[in-house]
Chain A
Amino acid sequence: MALSREQIAQRVAQELQDGFYVNLGIGIPTLVANYVPDNMEVMLQSENGLLGMGEFPTEETIDADMINAGKQTVTAIKGASIFSSAESFAMIRGGHVDLTVLGAFEVDVNGNIASWMIPNKLVKGMGGAMDLVAGADNIIVTMTHASKTGESKLLSNCSLPLTGKGCIKKVLTDLAWLEIEEGAFILRERAPGVSVEEIIEKTQGKLIVPDHVPEMVFA
Chain B
Amino acid sequence: MAGFDKVVASYTEAMKGLEDGMTVLAGGFGLCGIPENLIAEIKKKGTKGLTVVSNNCGIDGFGLGILLEDKQIKKMVSSYVGENALFEKQLLNGELEVELTPQGTLAEKMRAGGAGIPAFYTATGVGTPVAEGKETKIFNGREYLMEEAIIGDFSIVKGWKADRYGNVVYRHTAQNFNPLVATAGKITVVEVEEIVEVGELDPTQIHTPGIYVDRVVLGTFEKRIEQRTVKPTK
Q: Are A125 and B79 in contact (CB under 8 A)?
A: yes
Q: Chain A residues with Cβ under 8 A from B106's Cβ?
A: 85
Q: Chain B residues with Cβ under 8 A from A74's Cβ?
A: 229
Chain B interface residue count, Cβ-Cβ cutoff 8 angstroms: 56
C-alpha spacing A130/B230, complex, angstroms: 29
Q: Chain A residues with Cβ under 8 A from B231's Cβ?
A: 55-58
Q: Are A134 and B107 in contact (CB under 8 A)?
A: no
Q: Are A124 and B122 in contact (CB under 8 A)?
A: no
Q: Chain B residues with Cβ under 8 A from A50's Cβ?
A: 173
Q: Cβ of B111 < 8 Å from any Cβ of A?
A: yes
Selected interface stretch from B4-12, B16-24, B67-75, B97-105: B97-105
Whether A166 touches B127, Cβ cut-off 8 Å, given contacts A57-B230, A73-B227, A124-B82, is yes
Main SS of the interface on chain B?
loop
Within A32-65, which residues are at the interface with B (CB < 8 Å)? 46-50, 55-59, 62-65
Q: Are B230 and A71 in contact (CB under 8 A)?
A: no
Least CB distance from A104 to B in Å reads 13
Q: Cβ of B90 < 8 Å from any Cβ of A?
A: no
Selected interface stretch from B197-205, B209-217, B218-226: B218-226
C-alpha spacing A176/B168, complex, angstroms: 50
Q: Cβ of B62 < 8 Å from any Cβ of A?
A: no
Which of B's residues lie within 8 Å of A, judged by CB? Answer: 29-33, 55, 78-83, 88, 91-92, 100, 102-108, 110-111, 122-130, 160, 171-180, 207, 223-231, 233
Q: Chain B residues with Cβ under 8 A from A88's Cβ?
A: 104, 107
Q: Are B172 and A63 in contact (CB under 8 A)?
A: yes
Total contacts A to B, CB within 8 angstroms?
174
Q: Are B79 and A71 in contact (CB under 8 A)?
A: no
Q: Are A165 and B127 in contact (CB under 8 A)?
A: yes
Whether A86 touches B127, Cβ cut-off 8 Å, given contacts A49-B175, A71-B227, A127-B103, is no
Contact check: which of A71, A129, A161, A162 meets B226 at CB < 8 Å?
A71
Q: Chain B residues with Cβ under 8 A from A84's Cβ?
A: 107, 175-180, 207
Which of A's residues lie within 8 Å of B, judged by CB? Answer: 46-50, 55-59, 62-68, 70-74, 76, 82-86, 88-89, 92-93, 112, 117, 122-131, 134-135, 161-166
Contact check: which of B30, B104, B226 meets A89 at CB < 8 Å?
B104
Contact check: which of A64, A122, A124, A126 meets B32 at CB < 8 Å?
A64
Least CB distance from A31 to B in Å reads 14
CB nearest neighbor in A for B174: A65
Q: Chain A residues with Cβ under 8 A from B174's Cβ?
A: 64-65
Q: Chain A residues with Cβ under 8 A from B171's Cβ?
A: 65
Q: Are A65 and B80 in contact (CB under 8 A)?
A: no
Q: Are B32 and A67 in contact (CB under 8 A)?
A: yes
